[in-house]
Amino acid sequence: LGDGVDGFADDRTDIRHWVPSAPVEGLAADAVWLDIDAGQQVAALRRGKELLYVTVVSSGTSGRHATPLGIYELTDKTAWGDMASRAGADEVYHVENVPWVAHFWPRYALHGAFWHWGFGNRASHGCINLAPRDAIALLEALEPLQPLGWHSVYATDDHPGAVIRIRDGLSAVRDKR
């Protein structure tokens, strides 16, 4: 509970854990995809039903900065990119060289975040923030695959982007692919 004060962790607010769920319908049994539980602030890399990698994330805060729930496909990946608020935004920000960026919806992405250490808690403007080490591990496993030395790659009909599902617990979400 604080320095020198004994206590217990509250598993409703202090502990993050993976909540298993059924795979997205229609995926091949061996498809590699990402399952994000915004309620627990946890992302799981999966191959079909198999769990490959689990980590904590920071999704968007509530209101205007909420992360959109749904099923998406990655549209592009880049080694790094600049991110900025929209013109006229109440909260202005500009971050250069954001590492390991993968967009799933216009202006929404998975990406590394080197500016905070609050993973496991909502902290972003809507994107899914990952520790840089986790970001590269996940993005290297998800389609479209980015050849060594390339800065950017885009999903195509021949090489579609990996499916990601962003949910809150076990509640159903809309397919927005």
Q: Report the C-alpha gap between 106 and 21 in whole angstroms.
A: 26
* Regions in the chain scoring below 70 on pLDDT: 1-13
Residue 63: predicted pLDDT: 86
CA dihedral 53, 58, 59, 64 (to 10 degrees): -170
Query: pLDDT at position 117, please?
Result: 82
CB distance 74 to 144 below 8 Å:
yes
**From the CA atom positions of the chain, what is the Rg in Å?**
16
pLDDT at 62 (0 to 100):
86
**58 contacts 45 by C-beta, under 8 angstroms:** no
For residues 130 and 117, what is the distance between their CA atoms, to the nearest angstrom?
10
Cα separation of 111 and 43, whole Å?
12
Report the predicted TM-score, pTM, of the whole model to 2 decimal places.
Answer: 0.90
User: How high is the pLDDT of residue 10?
Assistant: 63
Residue 149: predicted pLDDT: 94
User: What pLDDT shows up at residue 4?
Assistant: 66
Strands 108-112 and 128-130, sheet pairing: parallel
- The model's pLDDT over 29-57, given as tens digits with 9 standing for 90+, comes to 999 999 999 999 999 999 999 999 999 99
